[in-house]
Structure 1
Amino acid sequence: MAAVGECSLSVPWKSVSLTHVEYPAGDLTGRLLAYVSLGPIFIIVGFATLIVFKRELHTISFLGGLLLNEGVNWLIKNIIREPRPCAEIHSSVYSKYAMPSSHSQFMWFFSIYSFLFLYFRMHQTNNARFLDLLWRHVLTLLLLTVAFLVSYSRVYLMYHTWSQDHHRSVSVRLSIFTQEILTPLFPRIAAWPISEFFLIRDTSLIPNILWFEYTVTRTEARTRQRKLGTKLQ
């Protein structure tokens, strides 16, 4: 705790603008959209948690694609160098350039990649095709809605214009690149000594990883339960 008289305003203070989102005071819609626009931050934290506990190559490549997407966005911004529409309102932002929106491009990459994963990698279980397809449709609709809301929030909060928010083609190309180029390399990467040391696994050849993990866990639990029951008799 600073002692009395030690606080000084001789040097201007700045916010950590990477997660700093401003909205008009008293605007409930703006406040909600400001929280929605922080979606990329929550997703990055979620991916980091999944990688630590799951150590699965597909999750790692997904995060790698997101980081590649951010790098391409930074490159495009610094080539075009188009200023933000209301720089006088948002004096503290991570980047002074606005074209294209990194938040929106991040969310559209995430949504498109998830769509490709759900419909082209995961396969339905034999006994629940209708329910399987239903939850995929619902989840895809939810992801696209969130991506649109993030795009809308950046325009509503005056960080970008609609013309600066058109970047879907970049997200589509990067999503397909990550899916088609990296996935075939997974078996080779999983065999590397460093992958074995960190217990990094490849589940790309398993049609439905959720169903696989569920059945394997259930079978193992029942086997151990029977062995424990036999020992107690």
Structure 2
Amino acid sequence: MASDDGNTAINNDQVEWVPLTLTLVEYPKGDIIGKFLALISLAPFGIGSGFIALILFRRDLHTITFFLGTLLSELLNYILKHIICEARPIRRDIIYVEYGMPSSHAQYVWFFATYVIYFVYIRLQHMNNNTIIQSLSKFLILFSTLSMAILVSISRIYLEYHTVSQVLYGALLGFLFATFWFAFTYLVLAPLFPQIVSWSISELLLLRDTTLIPNVLWFEYTNTRKEVHARSRKLVSMKSQ
């Protein structure tokens, strides 16, 4: 037993423990601003998780194509990184991709922000019956998405994961690819959605198309209220019998 325990101890000493590099973000110890920006730079992972949750629970084709666009943007970024092969400002042993041009974080958040702005100002013609509330809602969406994109971009420079040029080119690529993808979705894919949702596999997966509904939140809210009211009346009627 003693020898077995000794072997176990030796084997454990030989194990090299490494962090999950995909989510690890380093910042200067004791730097409050650096810590805040390190947390902000994790925004793409939160956005990705939100996409997965929306797709699982809403099954909307436009959400799926939006998410597909982010994946294609990341693929483009990965290819460009390995074509350009420009190093990051400082070398880190714990990092997902050693190259820094263009910044994948900047490209991701600016793709997301640009697409959301197009979606709100072009796709959502009527968000609310009250024009003041509608204008305020659009402003808040615009302000929050742009603020997030700007802060993430600043964080990549401040934490020395990227140079200024790497972040600017990433932001430009994100903007351009989001413009292309929104136009492609709006003009080419969206007209095909009614046909796609009629497929057997789409019905099996409960996929739906809400393109023609101007305000999805209001539509779902009013229809849920009607359904609950109808079921409540039916339940009361059954109890009275």
Tell me the TM-score normalized by structure 2. Answer: 0.89
1:111 is matched with 113
2:226 is matched with 219
Contact kept, 8 Å, 1:124 with 1:133, in 2: the verdict is: no
2:94 to 89, 92, 95: 92
SS at match of 2:182: helix
1:139 to 130, 138, 141: 141
2:48 is matched with 44
5+ long unaligned stretches in structure 2: 1-6
TM-aligned CA distance change 1:185 to 1:176, over 3 Å: farther
2:177 is matched with 174
Contact kept, 8 Å, 1:118 with 1:136, in 2: the verdict is: yes
Inter-partner Cα distance in structure 2 for 1:189 and 1:70 = 26
5+ long unaligned stretches in structure 1: none
Inter-partner Cα distance in structure 2 for 1:127 and 1:55 = 26
Q: Which amino acid aligns with 1:24?
A: P
Inter-partner Cα distance in structure 2 for 1:40 and 1:17 = 15
Q: Deviations over 1:189-226 (max 9, x none)?
A: 22222111111111111111111111111111111122
Q: Deviations over 1:126-159 (max 9, x none)?
A: 6311101101101210110011000000000000
Q: Which amino acid aligns with 1:15?
A: P
Distance apart, 1:170 and its partner CA: 1.9
> Where do 1:3-14 residues align within 5 Å?
3-9=8-14, 12-14=16-18
Distance apart, 1:116 and its partner CA: 1.0
Tell me the TM-score normalized by structure 1. Answer: 0.92
Provide the aligned C-alpha RMSD in A: 1.7
Distance apart, 1:125 and its partner CA: 5.0
SS at match of 2:93: coil
- 1:29 has 2:33 as partner: yes
Q: Which amino acid aligns with 2:33?
A: T
Percent identity between the two aligned chains? 45
Please state which structure has a larger fraction of its residues in helix. Answer: 2
Bigger Rg, which one = 2
Inter-partner Cα distance in structure 2 for 1:119 and 1:128 = 16
- For these two proteins, the number of residue pairs brought into alignment is 229
2:154 to 152, 155, 177: 152
